Amino acid sequence: MMPKLAQTQPRIPTDLAPAIGALCKVAADLSHLISRGALGGALGANVGENTDGDTQKALDVMADEAFFAALRGTGVRWYASEERDAVAGLDPDGALALAIDPLDGSSNIDVNVSIGTIFAIQPAQDDAEATFLRDGHALRAAGYFIYGPQTALVISFGAGVRRFVLDRESGGFEETPDIPSIPDTASEFAINASNYRHWSKPIRAYIDDCLAGADGPRGKNFNMRWVASLVAETHRIMSRGGIFLYPADQRAGYAQGRLRLVYECLPIAFLIEQAGGKATTGTRRILDCVPDHLHARTPFVFGTADKVDRVTSYHDLPEQEVSALFGNRGLFRA
């Protein structure tokens, strides 16, 4: 039985409704399974590697298979998943294409931290792979499910952001009356500071200025957050504002960042912009980026608009200026 999607705002576009309903059905099932923890089996067990060598958890594979099966007959012609090497076909006559990260943040399964599902929908082309090798302006919808104390769907159809919460009593997703919008002011940043020594000088200078607090050039104190779950980081920024940074760095395999453009960054950037924020590579708008292959990676910076703009401004400084800035303000000289 498909869970009810109770809407308080304009109806979901008719041609997208079957696919959204199927996604909600699987998300509700996953929410129940995840909530059982160890009683639901070894969901966090390693079961192999995906196409890029990332460890796959048992729940990664289960979620991928469940979404793929549920989307059959919903008008989705092409299905591209972070867990699959290539695009898979569903409905031959379908007009839609769906890209999905079936289980984001799966390294957190066993420690009971919020995880999620990220997806994006766009028109299907005859060439399966070429459908997904387009910039974010082709997207018709993007969203995520977050499996935490509440299971929620945050989604946009290109006219603002909408939020639905799973009602565990009725089994349906009920729309909340509030319209998510990223606050203009916030004092939080999210980054994995253990990689400080590998970052570029502009990123280190930006973080140094945040860490300097009220006595530094920013003139205010900041809090740092790092959950290692993109959905959880996004949900916090949607609620409280702030900035998330996953920059490129000097480690092998990280020169182009680590997050995937098709399955993670384009959908999240679409949502963030619809909520009044910005999303960039650090220097370039994410929605303008064209993936050169299905599993292309990119640096990712998003959140409150003025904070994202400040990161860009650090990259725009001439080398001699950012070197001097970093030399004067660096708190952790590498």
Task: State the pLDDT at residue 321.
Answer: 64
Task: State the pLDDT at residue 107.
Answer: 80
At 175, is the pLDDT very low, low, confident or very high (cuts 50, 70, 90)?
A: very high
Task: State the pLDDT at residue 167.
Answer: 95
For residue 213, is pLDDT > 80? Answer: yes
Which percentage of the chain shows pLDDT scores above 90? Answer: 75
At 148, is the pLDDT very low, low, confident or very high (cuts 50, 70, 90)?
A: very high
Tens of pLDDT, residue by residue over 178-190, are 888 998 888 999 9
- Asked whether residue 54 is marked as a ligand-binding residue, the answer is no
Tens of pLDDT, residue by residue over 254-305, are 999 999 999 999 999 999 999 999 999 999 999 999 999 999 999 999 999 9
* Number of neighbouring beta carbons within 10 Å of residue 291: 22
Q: Which of 22-36, 129-143, 271-285 has the lowest mean pLDDT?
A: 22-36
Q: Tell me where in the chain the CATH 3.40.190.80 domain(s) lie.
A: 188-329
For residue 2, is pLDDT > 50? Answer: no
- Asked whether residue 192 is marked as a ligand-binding residue, the answer is yes
Closest CA to 84 of 24, 144, 129: 129
At 45, is the pLDDT very low, low, confident or very high (cuts 50, 70, 90)?
A: low
At 38, is the pLDDT very low, low, confident or very high (cuts 50, 70, 90)?
A: confident
Measured torsion, CA atoms of residues 147, 149, 155, 159, in degrees rounded to the nearest 10: -170
The domain 5-175 is classified under which CATH number: 3.30.540.10, 3.30.70.660, 1.20.120.450, 3.40.50.1000? 3.30.540.10
- Amino acid at position 331, single letter: L
Task: State the pLDDT at residue 208.
Answer: 94
For residue 318, is pLDDT > 80? Answer: no
If DSSP states are collapsed to H, E and C, what string results for 60-128?
HHHHHHHHHHHCCCCCEEEEEECCCCCCEECCCCCCEEEEEEEEECHHHHHHCCCEEEEEEEEECCCCH
At 13, is the pLDDT very low, low, confident or very high (cuts 50, 70, 90)?
A: very high
- Asked whether residue 321 is marked as a ligand-binding residue, the answer is no
- Asked whether residue 129 is marked as a ligand-binding residue, the answer is no
Average pLDDT over the chain, rounded to an integer: 90
Query: Between these two residues, 34 and 89, which has the higher pLDDT value?
Result: 89
For residue 1, is pLDDT > 90? Answer: no
- Asked whether residue 96 is marked as a ligand-binding residue, the answer is no
Task: State the pLDDT at residue 262.
Answer: 98
Q: Tell me where in the chain the CATH 3.30.540.10 domain(s) lie.
A: 5-175
Tens of pLDDT, residue by residue over 202-211, are 999 999 999 9
The whole-angstrom separation of Cα 62 and Cα 40 is 12
Q: Which of 70-74, 107-111, 128-132, 213-217 has the lowest mean pLDDT?
A: 107-111
For residue 332, is pLDDT > 50? Answer: no
For residue 129, is pLDDT > 50? Answer: yes
Task: State the pLDDT at residue 127.
Answer: 98
Tokens, residue 315: 């990259």
Task: State the pLDDT at residue 327.
Answer: 54
For residue 163, is pLDDT > 70? Answer: yes
- Asked whether residue 49 is marked as a ligand-binding residue, the answer is no
- Asked whether residue 60 is marked as a ligand-binding residue, the answer is no
- The pTM score is 0.91
Tens of pLDDT, residue by residue over 303-316, are 999 999 999 999 98
Tens of pLDDT, residue by residue over 238-259, are 999 999 999 999 999 999 999 9
Closest CA to 62 of 99, 26, 97: 26
- Asked whether residue 104 is marked as a ligand-binding residue, the answer is yes
What DSSP character marks residue 301? E
- Asked whether residue 229 is marked as a ligand-binding residue, the answer is no
CATH code reported for the domain at 188-329 = 3.40.190.80
Across 52-62, average pLDDT: 76
Longest distance between any two alpha carbons in the chain, whole Å: 63
Task: State the pLDDT at residue 272.
Answer: 98
